[in-house]
C-alpha cells in the first residue's frame, strides 16, 4: 500500500512503519500491537480500508489501526477549549484499547528522531505538541525512557542554543574531571562485592533537557548544579534493594530530603524504586535508583509492561499495572470538571506531576502532586472540607496554608463554619481539583460583579467589529460554548476564564478569515526578512512599528524580531553571524501587534470596566486579561492589547494612566518570555 510513497527525507515511506514497529518490539509488546505499528498509516495515507485490514489481519488489529488513525486525525489546537475536547477524545480512545496510544507514542518518537527533514515551521509545531502533550503522557504512563527522549528531541528543536550550551559544558566538565561515571560505577560495585550482593550497576549523565529543566526550576547556573549523574542498581530481590540502600548510605553521606521509597508507596502507574541522593566521589552529588529486574522493566515501559512478551510467551510481571485500573485512576478526578477548561487544567496538572504521599490523622494515605499544599490536601478529602478550611497542622505543628507538603507527613485540616475560599487560594493550590473548586466558589460569590465586568468587556469587543452584545447574541454564544446561558458567558469573561474576543469569534467565524488577512499585513510590516519567512516577534520585548528592531536567527525556526534595546540581545552579542538588519515598513500599520501592559488598579466597583472602555476608545483591542495579584484594596493584572505602532501604544497607556484609580502602569517586558 505504501509502494511509491516517500518520506520528507526521500526514503521509501515503509521505513517509517517498520521503525515504529521496531520501537515497540524493543518493549516486547504483543503481536497485534506490532502488526498495528506496521499498518498504522494504511487507512490514513493509502487506499487501504478498515474492511480489508479486518479481512486479512483480524478484528483486533483492524480496531487498533482504526484507533490510531482517529488519534492521528486529532488536530491539537492552540485554543484551550478545543484542546481540552481533544484530550477527552484521546482518553476515550485509550479507554477502548490503550495499545492505540502506545503505537501513537512510538509513531511520534520516530517522527521526532527524523524531524530535521520537515519544514522549520512544522518542526516547531510538532516539537511544541510533543513537549506539551506526548512527552508528559508517556511519563504519566511510566514510560520514562521514551518520555526523556521525546523531551530531549523537542528541546533540540525549541531551544537548540541552550541544548548545545549544556552539551559543551558537559564536554568541558569531562576534560577537567575525567569521565566520573565508570569511576563511581566501580566504587558502587566494590561496595556490593563487599556486602555479598549480586546486582547490576548502570551509570549515565542526565539528558540535556532534564538538566535544563532543573536549572530553570532551581534558578541555578550549570556550575552550581549538583546531581547531573544518575546510577541504577538492579538487584535480584526486593530485600536486596534495602540491603543495597544500607550499603550506599554507609559508604557515602546521604543528602537530606532526597530520599523516596516508591517500593513501599508505588506510583499509580506501577513505578517502584528506591531513590536516594548521596555525596559521592570528590563531593559530587549523584542520584541512585535501586530496584529489582521486574521493577526495572515496569520503570522503563510503564503501563506497556502489561502486554510484555519474551521468547514468544506472555510474561506476567507482578508489578505491571492493569491498564483499565490505571486509566480509571487517571480520569476519576476529571469527571468532577464542569467544563472543558477545568478538564484541561486537571489533565495537565495530573500529567506533569510527581507525587507525594501524606496521611490523615486516621492514617489514611492521600496522594498529591509534588508541591501540593494543605489547601490541596483539604480539597482532596472533600470539597466541603476545602471550602471551610481555616488552618492546618503538619506533624502536629501549625503551619501556613502555603506550606509545601513532603512525603510521609501527617496533615490535619482545621475548619470553621461560615468560612469561604479566598481569592489568594488559587495561587496557593496546585491540584486542578482544588483550583476548580475555589474558582467555582468565587465565581458564585462574586457572580454579580463578574457579570457586570464581563458585560463591559463584551460590549467593547463587539463594538470593535461593528456588532452589539445583545442578550440573544450572548445566549447563542453560550449554546455554542456549551455553557448554561448568556449570564454564564459574561461571568466567565469577567473572571478572565474566557476572553471576549473568543466569544465574538465563536459567533462570527468569518472574523478568523479577517485575522488571516491581518497576519498577511503583519508579514509585510517588516523589511529585510529572508524570502518566505513569517514575522515572529520575540515576546520578551514585543517590538512594535516605530521602534528600532533587529532580527536574530534561531536554528530550525528562522529569525525572531527583537527591539534593539531588548536585554535578551546581550546573550547573543558576540554571535554577529546570527544578526539580521531589519526595519519596519513605512505607512500605516494594522492593529495586530500584541503588547502586554502591567497595571495596578483600585479594587473598586466599575474601575476595571472603565479601564477597558478607555482602551476600546483608543481603537485598541484587548486580546487577554490575566490577574496576577488580588488584594482587598488593589489588584494587579496583565492586559494584552493589540496596537498599530509605538504612537498608538503611547496613546493607550496615556489614556489609562490618566485615570485616578490607576496606581501604576508600565509596559510589561520579561526575559522569562525570551525565545
**Which is the catalytic residue, given 44, 179, 395, 571?**
44
Active site residue 227: no
DSSP letters, 200-223, are: EEEEEEPPHHHHHHHHHHHT--GG
φ, ψ of residue 555 to 5 degrees: the values are -50, 130
φ, ψ of residue 190 to 5 degrees: the values are -65, -45
**Which is the catalytic residue, given 45, 121, 300, 463?**
45
As a whole number of angstroms, the distance between CA 544 and CA 592 comes to: 10
As a whole number of angstroms, the distance between CA 323 and CA 333 comes to: 17
As a whole number of angstroms, the distance between CA 142 and CA 138 comes to: 6
Identify whether the C-beta of residue 268 lies closer than 8 Å to the C-beta of residue 351: no
Grid cell 524580531 — which residue? 561
As a whole number of angstroms, the distance between CA 1 and CA 227 comes to: 49
| 369 bridge partner residues | 355
Cα Rg of the chain, angstroms = 28
As a whole number of angstroms, the distance between CA 442 and CA 159 comes to: 39
Q: Are strands 274-279 and 253-254 parallel, antiparallel or unpaired?
A: antiparallel
| 640 bridge partner residues | 596, 624
Checking 342-348 for CB contacts under 8 A at 24+ apart, the result is: 342/432, 342/436, 342/439, 343/84, 343/87, 343/88, 344/80, 344/81, 344/83, 344/84, 344/87, 345/432, 345/435, 345/436, 346/432, 346/433, 346/436, 347/84, 347/87, 347/432, 348/136, 348/432
Active site residue 463: no
C-alpha cell at 561: 524580531
Packing angle, helices 471-480 and 486-494, rounded to 10: 80
As a whole number of angstroms, the distance between CA 369 and CA 404 comes to: 10
Identify whether the C-beta of residue 376 lies closer than 8 Å to the C-beta of residue 434: yes
C-alpha cell at 78: 492552540
Strands (E), 338-452: 355-359, 365-369, 389-394, 397-399, 411-415
Alpha-carbon distance values, 120 to 72, 158, 251 (Å): 21, 11, 50
The catalytic site residues sit at 44-45
Amino acid at each position: 500500500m505504501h509502494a511509491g510513497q516517500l518520506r520528507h527525507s526521500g526514503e521509501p515511506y515503509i521505513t517509517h512503519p517498520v521503525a515504529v514497529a521496531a520501537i515497540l518490539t524493543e518493549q516486547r509488546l504483543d503481536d497485534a500491537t506490532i502488526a498495528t505499528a506496521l499498518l498504522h498509516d494504511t487507512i490514513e495515507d493509502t487506499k487501504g480500508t478498515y474492511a480489508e485490514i479486518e479481512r486479512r489481519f483480524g478484528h483486533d488489529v483492524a480496531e487498533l489501526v482504526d484507533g490510531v488513525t482517529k488519534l492521528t486525525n486529532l488536530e491539537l489546537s492552540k485554543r484551550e477549549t478545543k484542546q481540552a475536547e481533544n484530550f477527552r477524545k484521546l482518553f476515550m480512545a485509550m479507554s477502548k484499547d490503550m495499545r492505540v496510544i502506545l503505537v501513537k507514542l512510538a509513531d511520534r518518537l520516530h517522527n521526532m528522531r527524523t524531524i530535521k527533514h520537515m519544514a522549520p515551521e512544522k518542526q516547531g509545531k510538532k516539537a511544541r505538541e510533543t513537549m506539551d502533550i506526548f512527552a508528559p503522557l508517556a511519563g504519566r504512563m511510566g514510560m520514562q525512557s521514551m518520555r526523556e527522549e521525546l523531551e530531549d528531541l523537542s528541546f533540540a528543536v525549541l531551544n537548540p542554543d541552550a541544548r548545545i550550551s549544556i552539551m559543551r559544558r558537559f564536554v568541558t566538565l569531562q576534560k577537567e574531571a575525567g569521565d566520573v561515571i565508570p569511576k563511581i560505577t566501580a566504587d558502587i560495585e566494590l561496595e556490593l562485592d563487599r556486602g555479598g550482593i549480586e546486582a547490576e550497576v548502570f551509570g549515565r549523565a542526565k539528558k540535556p533537557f532534564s538538566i535544563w529543566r532543573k536549572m530553570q526550576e532551581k534558578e541555578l547556573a550549570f556550575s552550581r548544579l549538583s546531581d547531573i549523574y544518575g546510577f541504577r542498581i538492579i538487584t535480584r530481590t526486593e530485600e536486596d534493594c534495602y540491603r543495597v540502600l544500607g550499603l550506599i548510605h554507609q559508604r557515602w553521606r546521604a543528602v537530606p530530603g532526597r530520599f523516596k521509597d516508591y517500593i513501599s508507596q508505588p506510583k499509580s502507574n506501577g513505578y517502584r524504586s528506591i531513590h536516594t541522593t548521596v555525596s559521592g566521589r570528590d563531593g559530587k552529588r549523584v542520584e541512585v535508583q535501586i530496584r529489582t529486574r521486574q521493577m526495572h522493566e515496569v520503570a522503563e515501559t510503564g503501563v506497556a509492561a502489561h502486554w510484555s512478551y519474551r521468547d514468544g510467551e506472555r510474561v506476567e510481571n507482578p508489578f505491571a499495572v492493569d491498564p483499565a485500573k490505571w486509566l480509571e485512576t487517571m480520569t476519576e478526578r476529571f469527571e468532577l470538571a464542569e467544563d472543558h477548561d477545568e478538564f484541561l487544567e486537571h489533565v495537565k496538572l495530573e500529567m506533569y506531576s510527581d507525587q507525594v504521599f501524606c496521611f490523615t490523622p486516621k492514617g489514611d494515605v492521600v496522594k498529591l502532586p509534588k508541591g501540593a499544599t494543605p489547601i490541596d490536601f483539604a480539597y482532596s478529602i472533600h470539597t466541603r472540607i476545602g471550602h471551610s478550611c481555616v488552618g492546618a497542622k503538619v506533624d502536629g505543628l501549625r503551619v501556613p496554608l502555603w506550606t509545601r507538603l513532603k512525603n510521609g507527613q501527617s496533615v490535619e485540616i482545621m475548619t470553621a463554619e461560615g468560612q469561604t475560599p479566598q481569592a489568594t487560594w488559587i495561587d496557593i493550590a496546585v491540584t486542578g481539583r482544588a483550583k476548580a473548586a475555589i474558582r467555582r466558589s468565587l465565581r458564585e460569590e462574586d457572580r454579580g460583579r463578574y457579570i457586570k465586568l464581563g458585560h463591559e468587556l463584551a460590549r467593547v469587543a463587539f463594538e470593535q467589529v461593528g456588532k452589539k452584545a445583545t442578550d440573544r447574541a450572548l445566549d447563542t454564544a453560550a449554546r455554542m460554548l456549551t455553557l448554561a446561558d448568556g449570564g454564564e458567558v459574561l461571568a466567565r469573561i469577567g473572571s478572565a476564564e474566557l476572553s471576549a474576543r473568543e466569544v465574538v469569534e465563536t459567533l462570527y467565524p468569518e472574523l478568523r478569515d479577517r485575522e488571516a488577512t491581518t497576519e498577511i499585513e503583519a508579514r509585510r510590516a517588516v523589511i529585510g526578512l529572508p524570502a518566505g519567512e513569517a514575522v515572529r516577534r520575540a515576546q520578551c520585548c514585543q517590538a512594535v512599528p516605530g521602534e528600532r528592531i533587529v532580527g536574530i536567527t534561531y536554528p530550525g525556526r528562522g529569525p525572531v524580531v527583537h527591539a534593539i534595546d531588548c536585554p535578551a540581545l546581550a546573550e547573543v552579542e558576540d554571535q554577529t553571524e546570527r544578526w539580521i538588519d531589519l526595519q519596519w515598513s513605512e505607512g500605516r500599520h494594522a492593529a495586530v501587534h500584541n503588547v502586554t501592559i502591567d497595571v495596578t488598579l483600585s479594587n473598586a466597583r466599575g474601575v476595571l470596566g472603565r479601564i477597558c472602555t478607555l482602551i476600546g476608545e483608543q481603537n485598541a483591542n484587548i486580546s487577554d486579561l490575566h490577574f496576577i495579584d488580588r488584594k482587598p484594596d488593589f489588584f494587579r493584572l496583565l492586559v494584552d492589547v493589540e496596537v498599530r505602532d509605538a504612537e498608538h501604544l503611547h496613546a493607550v497607556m496615556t489614556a489609562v494612566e490618566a485615570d485616578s484609580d490607576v496606581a501604576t502602569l508600565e509596559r510589561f517586558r520579561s526575559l522569562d518570555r525570551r525565545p
